[in-house]
Copies of this chain bind each other. A is one copy, B any other.
Amino acid sequence: MKLKVKEINFETGNIKDVVLNIKDAQELGQKAGERIVVKNPQSKSLEDKYWVAILQIDYSNSLVRPGEIGIFLDILKEKNNLIDNMIVSVKPADPPDSFKYIQRKIRGAKLTTEEINSIISDTVSGSLSRIDLAAFITAVSINGMDNEEMTALTYAEARSGELFDFGPEVYDKHSTGGVPGNKVTLIIVPIVAAAGLTIPKSSTRAITSPSGTADSMEVLAPIAFDAEKLKSIVSKEKACIIWGGALNTSPADNILIEIERPLHMDPVGLMIPSILTKKISLGVKKLVLDIPVGEGTKFPTPDNGKQFAYLFKEIAKNVGIETECALTLAHQPIGHAIGPGLEAKEALTLLMDYSAGPNSLIEKSTDLAGILLEMGGKAQKGKGQSLAKEILRSGKAYEKMKRIIEVQGGNPELKPKDIKIGPHSKDFFAIKAGHITGVNNAIINSIAKSTGCPHSKNSGVEIFKKQGARIKEGDLIFRIHSDSQNKLKKAEKIYNSTGGPIILGGMMIERI
């Protein structure tokens, strides 16, 4: 069937949808969500000449008329010699082989390396639709993936994108997440780099939390770089703290995550490859993995975390990454600050002045940095943390951080006081004396996100008293900041309706 290209002035994202009028779709015998092969006779390269598209149908005659094929900007930009009003031909396409492999996983089968490679390459090419991938993710959630499958998936995802080589000894740190205020990366990277190890840290922005490492680092310096610029940064400082999203590492993993997220699914069979594939992409050889355990994290009990740690180490070993895992406490925030600006400020304050604390941030950062220092032979077994503390206390970590900020294009002389927070804020005080028995992370996240985080850099919350603290009536315990009066009101409303995140003697503290 020959059709005239009609440009649809709109990008849909990753997916290679085309739109046919219902009349032509019926004539072709294809339904919405099924596949057609499009042939562009004008194209020279095979890839541009034939491609499989997923069919969407215009039932209304309003956009695409009989005889036309609606093509979104995504495809028009990607395909050479494909232009408005030209004639292409289409015919029904069978689902790709990878579709059958997804069905094998649904039936509980173990997939071969070739089958996994095929699923990943069709994920990137757009030959698998979003609902195919939703079915795959659901099947992996239910039926799991074994070690060989996860190993194959890790490699396949890494090969789907750019691979960097920063030398034979590249270090990294990663966290499975779930703790508010976990700005430890901003401390660990400069410590480890100051000791002479290579640590090209690529981070994510917040997905469901009030701030990701990338969001906080962005307060101090630009974080989005292409491959060439990244190479230049790391060649100069052997370290960076950048956002991974601007690099073309493991696009397959990014596509899967885009579907896992709205499904609220993060099965271990995809999570481990997702972490490791980004490490392979950056040439990482030695890794410390922070596994927060407890309510609100991916691992409700230490046993869950331990089981995951052993599994992770095994898959990591398969793909050539030596890993040490640290199970960490997740019952309350690290430090006091939650939100991009507040976290950058707290980290910068500690880098400049060890005595400023906070203690939980020092302990967790140097624990993890210490492990890397030991793995890198910079400290003897058991001596890593004290070396890390020494590097932090001495100001060498701060000096390194200034150079990282500078090489990434930020202002190395930026001081904590230059990071503006608010301007709207609201304080909360203890209504009675007592002993804090717990902190509710979910309420903290909910309040912090309602202030506008992570999109608003200068919004967020501060928690001044944490578990174990004794407090007097009238003590300042919590503060909410926002760039919007309206959002501040909303955040206050959450505080008041939940009773706030701080639990006193088993009772909720109320606002006065």
Contact = CB atoms under 8 A, between A and B. Distances in A.
Contacts of A12: 56
A63 B134 contact: no
Contact of A135 (B9, B34, B60, B138): B138
Interface in A77-134: 95, 99, 103, 106, 108, 129-134
Given A9-B62, A62-B9, A455-B26, A33 B138 contact: no
A261 B11 contact: no
Contact of A63 (B10, B59, B129, B130): B10
A11 B449 contact: no
Interface stretch (A139-147, A176-184, A362-370, A380-388): A139-147
A131 B135 CA distance: 8
Contact of A134 (B103, B134, B258): B134
A57 interface: yes
B11 A60 contact: yes
A492 interface: no
A58 B11 contact: yes
Given A106-B138, A261-B31, A60 B10 contact: yes
Nearest to A141: B106
Interface residues on A, range: 35 or more
**Which of A59, A103, A134, A139 is packed against the most chain B CB atoms within 10 Å?**
A134
A507 interface: no
Contacts of A19: 10
B142 A108 contact: yes
Contact of A131 (B31, B56, B103, B262): B262
Contacts of A60: 10-11, 73
Contacts of A57: 13
Contacts of A143: 142
Interface in A447-464: 449, 454-455
Contact of A103 (B10, B207, B259, B264): B264
B33 A261 contact: yes
A487 to B, nearest CB: 11
A473 interface: no
Interface in A1-48: 9-13, 19, 26-27, 29, 31-34
A31 B142 contact: no
B58 A32 contact: no
A227 interface: no
A258 B29 CA distance: 15
**Which of A95, A129, A135 is packed against the most chain B CB atoms within 10 Å?**
A135
A255 to B, nearest CB: 12
A25 to B, nearest CB: 10
Contacts of A132: 134, 262-263
A480 interface: no
A139 B139 CA distance: 7
A10 B137 contact: no
A449 B19 CA distance: 23
A59 B26 CA distance: 32
Contacts of A134: 130-132, 134-135, 138
Contacts of A133: 131
Contacts of A58: 10-11
Contacts of A31: 207, 258, 261-262
A29 B455 CA distance: 7
Nearest to A130: B131
Contacts of A26: 455
Contacts of A449: 29
A103 B137 CA distance: 12
A27 B58 CA distance: 31
Interface string A396-416: 000000000000000000000
22 contacts: A10-B62, A11-B62, A12-B56, A13-B57, A27-B455, A29-B449, A31-B207, A33-B261, A34-B261, A34-B262, A62-B73, A99-B264, A106-B138, A130-B131, A131-B134, A131-B263, A132-B262, A132-B263, A134-B134, A135-B137, A138-B142, A142-B143
Interface of A: 9-13, 19, 26-27, 29, 31-34, 56-60, 62-63, 73, 95, 99, 103, 106, 108, 129-135, 137-139, 141-143, 207, 258-259, 261-265, 449, 454-455
Given A33-B261, A103-B264, A138-B139, 4 more contacts: A10-B60, A12-B56, A134-B134, A135-B138
* 8 nearest CB pairs, A to B: A33-B262, A134-B134, A131-B134, A10-B63, A138-B138, A11-B60, A135-B138, A9-B62
